[in-house]
Amino acid sequence: MYSVIRTIFNEEHEMFRQSIKDFIAKEITPYNAEWEKNKMVSRESWKKLGDNGFLCIQAPEQFGGLNIQDFRYNAILVEELGLSGCSGPAIGYPLHNDIVFPYILHYGTEEAKAKYIPGMISGDLISAVAMTEPGAGSDLQAIRSTAVDMGDHYLINGSKTFITNGYLADVVVVAAKTDPKLGAKGISLFILDKNMEGFSKGVPFEKVGLHAQDTCELFFEDVRVPKENLLGKVGEGFKYLMTELAQERLIVGLAAVALAESAFLSTLEYVQQRKAFGKSISDFQNTRFKLAEMGAKLEQGRMYCDQLVSLHNDKKVDPAMASSAKYLLTELQCWVSDECVQLHGGYGYMWEYPVARAFADARVQRIYAGTNEIMKELIVRKLLK
C-alpha cells in the first residue's frame, strides 16, 4: 500500500515473512474468533509456533535456539501478526519472544537458562512478566510485593494485576522488593513458575478488548523461590527493567502500526463496496480525504518504524526514542481505528466487523508498557538534559 520503497529487508527476510504469513493464515486467523470466546489462545498454538521455529529465535543453539541476532526477523513476526488483525495473538506471542525472554537470556543464571529456555523455544513453557500491582502501575517504584532472603531461598509475597499471558503462563518474571526502604534500588527480579507452592492465578479478566489475550491477577503467598531464580544482582531489578523496557515499547509501537494498517486495509475494501446515494462511499470527497490522511500518516509511521528497527539492530535505540515510538504510534493506532469505525457507519460498531474489534483492542495500547503520559515525561527528560 506504500509508495515509498522499504529498504531494510533482504530476500531472506522476505522468505521468512512469507513463512509467517502462511502460518498465520493456517494456524491463527481461522481460530481467532474461538480464542476470543475462550479469552485466550490455545496452548496448541504455542506448540505449533515452537515447532515452526518462531519462538525465541535469538536463543543460543546450546538451548535449541536458532541464534538469530537480527531484530528484523522479530519485527517481521510482530508486523505480520498485526496485519492479520488478530490483536490478542499480536500482543501475546511477541511479549513471550521479545519482552520476557530477554530478561532470562540476559540476566538468568546458567541453571535457570537451562531449565526454562528450551521450553520457551518449544512452546511447552508460556511466559509472562509481572510488574503492575493494584496500587502500582506506571510508578514501578511503588510496588509492594516483597522477596525476603531466607538463606537458601527467597520467600515472595504479594500480588500482580493486568498480567498479559498470565492465565496460561508457566514461567513469570516477577518484580519484588528485596529492600522496601531503598525505593528503586530495592527492587529485584525473579523467575517464578506455576508449580511453586503458594503461586496462584485469578480468572481471566472481562476486558473491553483483546478478548483473545489472557490477562489476569497473580498471587504469591509464601512462595519459596530458589536462589538460582534471581535474575542478575539483588537490587538491580529496576535498572534491568529500564533497560529492557526500551525494546518492549518498541514492540508495542511496531504492533500498533501493523494493527492500524489492518483496520485501514479492511476499511479501504469496505468503502469501495458499500453504496450510499447511488454510489460507492469511496466516491465521496470526505471519504477520499479521510483515506488520504490515514494512508499518509500510516506510511510515515511505517517508515519511522523501519528506521527504529534498523537502529535497534545496531543497539542505538535509547529509552527516549522507544518512548517516542510507543507514544506516537499507539496514538496513531487509536486515531486510525476511530476514523475507520466512522467510515463504516453503524456497521463499524458491530463486533462481527474487524474494525469494531480493532477499535476496542487499540485503546489499551496507550496504557500498558507505561502510559503515554509517562512516555512524554521520559521524552522531555532527554530534551531538557
Same domain, residue pair 225 and 323: no
Is 224 a member of any domain? yes
Q: Which of 103, 126, 149 is the last residue of a domain?
A: 126
Same domain, residue pair 279 and 336: yes
The CATH number linked to 68 is 1.10.540.10
- Provide the domain count of the chain: 3
Q: Which of 177, 200, 234 is the last residue of a domain?
A: 234
Burial class from Cβ neighbours inside 10 Å (0-12, 13-18, 19+) for residue 104 reads buried
Same domain, residue pair 230 and 250: no
What is the structure's pLDDT at 347? 93
What is the structure's pLDDT at 301? 96
Is 259 a member of any domain? yes
* Cα dist from 322 to 197, 211, 250, 295, 378, whole Å: 37, 27, 5, 23, 10
Rounded to whole angstroms, how far apart are CA atoms 70 and 138?
30
The SS3 assignment for 166 reads coil
* Cα dist from 100 to 62, 64, 244, 282, 354, whole Å: 19, 18, 9, 43, 29
The SS3 assignment for 205 reads coil
Range of the domain at 209: 128-234
What is the structure's pLDDT at 137? 63
Same domain, residue pair 271 and 357: yes
If one counts every other C-beta atom within 10 angstroms of the C-beta of residue 102, the result is: 18
> How big, in percent rounded to 5, are the helix, strand and coil portions of the chain?
60, 15, 25
What is the structure's pLDDT at 259? 97
What is the structure's pLDDT at 277? 86
What is the structure's pLDDT at 184? 84
Rounded to whole angstroms, how far apart are CA atoms 39 and 202?
13
Q: Which of 338, 376, 345 is nearest to 260 (CA)?
A: 338
The CATH number linked to 243 is 1.20.140.10
Same domain, residue pair 226 and 246: no
Same domain, residue pair 327 and 250: yes
Successive 10-residue mean pLDDT values, the chain, 385 residues = 84 96 97 94 96 96 94 96 94 94 96 97 96 77 89 95 95 95 91 95 93 95 96 94 90 96 96 88 93 96 96 93 96 98 95 94 92 93 88
Is 267 a member of any domain? yes
| Cell matching residue 199 | 503461586
Same domain, residue pair 205 and 75: no
Model pLDDT for residues 85-136, shown as the tens digit of each residue: 999 999 999 999 999 999 999 999 999 999 999 999 999 999 999 998 887 7
What is the structure's pLDDT at 5? 86
pTM (global) more than 0.85: yes
Rounded to whole angstroms, how far apart are CA atoms 38 and 6?
38
Q: Which of 126, 142, 165 is the last residue of a domain?
A: 126
Told to judge if 236 belongs to the known catalytic residues of this protein, a careful annotator would answer no
- Give the active site residue among 36, 236, 248, 261: 248
Is 309 a member of any domain? yes
Model pLDDT for residues 284-305, shown as the tens digit of each residue: 999 999 999 999 999 999 999 9
Is 26 a member of any domain? yes
Containing 217, the helix (H) or strand (E) segment is strand 215-226
